[in-house]
A = this chain, B = another copy of it.
């Protein structure tokens, strides 16, 4: 028993949502992909909202773990920010996929409350991490200012990914990130 049905479902669903979003996620296609019937999916995840919430929750957890790891290995600011943006780049490299949180934000109006909460948590995880990174460089800056800057950096990278995806051109992502760095937005 190397593969667990629930895990297979989550894995397939995560790939599907990052590519097509919440609305386009189909229990029937999902079931076909892993070889069960669509009614069986509901045994593991009663509703589509439950599945998406589980996906987003794990996604936020994974991000948290990854970001902690980044800080564990000390490096200069520019390398750190490059490692950070590389994660968003990797999603595009993976068949032009998006950050789960980004694509869910676009579909925000259609999300059950339980999913919205996890989207918020992902954003909070990212901005808190960025605040820590910025605070180390600007110890005299007001927390309010750092929070604004952190949210701006996060939003700018999400936007870079969104626009590059819409042009199905990963070079656009690199071009945009380079312009951000040149402007001093990440400093």
A contacts, CB < 8 Å to B? 19-21, 23-24, 96, 98, 101-110, 119-120, 123, 148-149, 151-152, 154-160, 162-168, 172, 175-176, 178-180, 182-185, 187
List residues of chain B with CB within 8 A of the CB of A156.
152, 155-156, 159-160, 180, 185
The residue in chain B whose Cβ has the minimal distance to the Cβ of A24 is B23
Given contacts A183-B152, A183-B184, A185-B180, A165 and B105 within 8 Å (CB-CB): yes
Given contacts A21-B107, A23-B23, A23-B24, A151 and B166 within 8 Å (CB-CB): no
Are A123 and B20 in touch, CB under 8 angstroms?
no
Are A24 and B110 in touch, CB under 8 angstroms?
yes
